[in-house]
């Protein structure tokens, strides 16, 4: 049931609306068995109280919710200005909510829809594992942008880069420059989103070039540090350098983790690219100000946002849903890779 009301909860439980309200507000005077039955239904149907319904009815807003999986992520932060500009062109404002990688996308999205009276929603980042629940509980148009989701779900609007293909490309670039012992700073071990796809691209590039996969060169990000952060890249790179594994290049699955890897390499008394070549992924603006400038795969952020907003606008108008559009990345050849073919 989408947009369940307190009356719906009361009907399902066979009680009055005031009883439901008392149960949800932990009123000590309510029967414990009744309270337990009500809260079970509330949890089962992901009911979120609609605070706006407690006030005078207001006119429908022209507001789009933007739900971002990953707080303080520089890559996503670089998108916000483009989102605002594109939405303003079609007369919409937006409300931004950043959540952690541990938060549940579905529950957070349902809460935003209930509380903010949204016309549509853009999901940025992360992975959607419970797509059926999104379909069930969110009855406004939505678009997934840079989100790992079931690509067979043809009823969903999706805008993304092909993480597997682009990771293959940059690892193949390292190989073409003579590197055969290539380490990777991957996502966390339990990352089934972009981290998994980029690791898969790495493996496929090795296989295509006749290089044996070495699990010892796969360094997973730590789960006690923020995902895809410089702090995580620094810690993981330090461990990799201390592991005794031999390698001449490292692929960091995001630019921010690559920045941390830079410092770990320099702290170890080594140089880039003389001792280790380093490549990243995302192509954020800061890469060209690193020393040396970081070679990376640039995601076409502006074009992807324009596409996502266009799809959302069409969906709001009741047309053109269920499109999946993949963009090609751009290999930014800068100064962090040494050619060792000679």
Please report whether residue 98 resides in a domain.
yes
Q: Are residues 274 and 181 both part of a single domain?
A: yes
**156 Cβ neighbours under 8 A, 6+ residues apart:** 131, 144, 149, 322, 324
- pTM, two decimals, is 0.75
Residues 274, 200 share a domain: yes
Q: In this predicted structure, what is the pLDDT of residue 303?
A: 93
Q: What's residue 152's pLDDT?
A: 60
Query: Given the structure tokens 């890249």, which residue do they identify?
Result: 233
pLDDT in tens, 9-52: 878 887 766 577 767 777 665 678 888 888 888 888 777 665 54
Tell me whether residue 112 is in a domain.
yes
pLDDT tens-digit readout, 107-139: 888 888 877 788 899 998 877 767 777 887 888
What pLDDT is recorded for position 117? 80
pLDDT of residue 17: 65
Q: pLDDT tens across 172-208, in order?
A: 999 999 999 999 999 888 776 788 889 999 999 999 9
pLDDT by residue (tens digit) across 53-97?
444 334 456 889 999 887 767 788 888 888 999 998 888 888 888
Q: Which of 248, 244, 295, 252 is nearest to 270 (CA)?
A: 248
The total number of structural domains in the chain stands at 3
Among the listed residues 229, 218, 233, the one whose alpha carbon sits nearest the alpha carbon of residue 267: 233
What SS3 string covers the chain? CCCCCHHHHHHHHCCCHHHHHHHHCCCCCCCHHHHHHHHHHHHHCCCCCCHHHHCCCCCCCCEEEEEEECCCCHHHHCCHHHHHHHHHHCCCEEEEEEECCCCCHHHHHHHHHHHHCCCEEEEECCECCCHHHHHHHCCCCEEEECCECCCCCCCCEEEEECHHHHHHHHHHHHHHCCCCCEEEEECCCCCCCHHHHHHHHHHHHHHHCCCCCCHHHEEECCCCCCCCCHHHHHHHHHHHHHCCCCCCEEEECCHHHHHHHHHHHHHCCCCCCCCCEEECCECCHHHHHCCCCCEEEECCHHHHHHHHHHHHHHHHCCCCCCCEEEECCEEECCCCCCCCCC
Residue 24 falls inside a structural domain: yes
Cα angle at 222 between 220 and 227, to 5 degrees?
Answer: 95
Residues 140-177: tens digit of each pLDDT:
889 999 887 665 666 788 998 989 999 999 999 999 99
pLDDT band with cut points at 50, 70 and 90 for residue 3:
low
3-class state of residue 217 by DSSP: helix
Considering the domain architecture, whether residues 170 and 286 belong to the same structural domain is answered as yes
β-pair type (142-145, 157-161): parallel
Same domain, residue pair 295 and 325: no
In a domain, 58, yes or no: no
The CATH number that applies at residue 227 is 3.40.50.2300
In a domain, 57, yes or no: no
Rounded to whole angstroms, how far apart are CA atoms 135 and 178?
A: 48
In a shared domain, residues 116 and 32: no
For the stretch 290-321, pLDDT in tens is 999 999 999 999 999 999 999 999 888 877 67
Q: Judge whether 247 lies within some domain.
A: yes
DSSP state of 126: S
Range of the domain at 84: 63-161+300-329
The residue among 333 and 49 whose pLDDT is bigger is 333
When the pLDDT of each residue in the chain is averaged and rounded to a whole number, the result is: 86
180 shares a domain with 294? yes
Instruction: State whether 250 and 179 are in the same domain.
Output: yes
Examine the domain organization and report whether 113 and 89 are in the same domain. yes
Whether 181 and 266 share a structural domain: yes
Whether residues 196 and 277 fall in one domain: yes
Distance CA 333, CA 336 (A): 8
- Shared-domain flag, residues 109 and 222: no
Domain presence at residue 339 = no
Of 152, 163, 145, 131, which is closest to residue 311 (Cα–Cα)? 145
* Residue 189, token pair as written in the block: 């071990």
Question: How many CA atoms are closer than 13 Å to the CA of 130, on its beta-carbon side?
Answer: 14
Distance CA 174, CA 166 (A): 13
269 to 63, 241, 338: CA distances (angstroms): 52, 11, 18
Residue 56: inside a domain, yes or no? no
What pLDDT does residue 138 have? Answer: 84
pLDDT for the residue numbered 10: 78
Instruction: For residue 87, give both structure tokens.
Output: 């939405």
Please report the pLDDT score of residue 55 as a whole number: 41
Query: CATH no. for residue 30?
Result: 1.10.260.40
* Whether residue 148 is found in the same domain as residue 271: no
């Amino acid at each position: 049931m989408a947009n369940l009301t307190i009356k719906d909860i009361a009907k399902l439980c066979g009680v009055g609306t005031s009883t439901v309200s008392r149960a949800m507000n932990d009123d000590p005077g309510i029967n414990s068995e009744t309270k337990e039955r009500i809260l079970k239904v509330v949890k089962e149907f992901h009911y979120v109280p609609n605070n706006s319904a407690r006030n005078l009815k207001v006119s429908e807003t022209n507001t789009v919710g933007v739900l971002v999986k990953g707080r303080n992520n520089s890559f996503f932060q670089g998108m916000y200005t483009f989102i605002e500009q594109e939405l303003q062109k079609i007369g919409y404002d937006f409300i931004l909510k950043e959540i952690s990688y541990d938060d549940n996308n579905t529950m957070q999205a349902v809460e935003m829809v209930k509380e903010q009276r949204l016309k549509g929603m853009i999901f940025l980042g992360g992975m959607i594992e419970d797509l059926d629940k999104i379909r069930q509980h969110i009855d406004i148009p939505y678009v997934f942008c840079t989100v790992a989701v079931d690509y067979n779900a043809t009823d969903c609007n999706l805008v993304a880069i092909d993480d597997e293909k682009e990771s293959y490309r940059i690892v193949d670039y390292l190989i073409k420059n003579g590197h055969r012992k290539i380490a990777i700073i991957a996502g966390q071990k339990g990352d089934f989103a972009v981290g998994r796809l980029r690791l898969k691209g790495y493996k496929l590039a090795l296989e295509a070039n006749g290089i044996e996969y070495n699990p010892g060169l796969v360094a997973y990000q730590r789960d006690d540090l923020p995902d895809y952060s410089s702090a995580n890249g620094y810690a993981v790179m330090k461990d990799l350098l201390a592991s005794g594994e031999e390698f001449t290049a490292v692929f960091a699955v995001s630019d921010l983790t690559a920045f941390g890897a830079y410092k770990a390499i320099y702290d170890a008394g080594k140089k880039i690219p003389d001792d280790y070549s380093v490549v990243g992924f995302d192509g954020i603006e800061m890469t060209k100000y690193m020393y040396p400038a970081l070679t990376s795969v640039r995601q076409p952020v502006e074009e992807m946002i324009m596409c996502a907003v266009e799809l959302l606008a069409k969906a709001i108008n009741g047309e053109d849903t269920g499109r999946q559009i993949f963009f090609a990345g751009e290999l930014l050849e800068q100064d962090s890779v040494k050619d060792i073919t000679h």
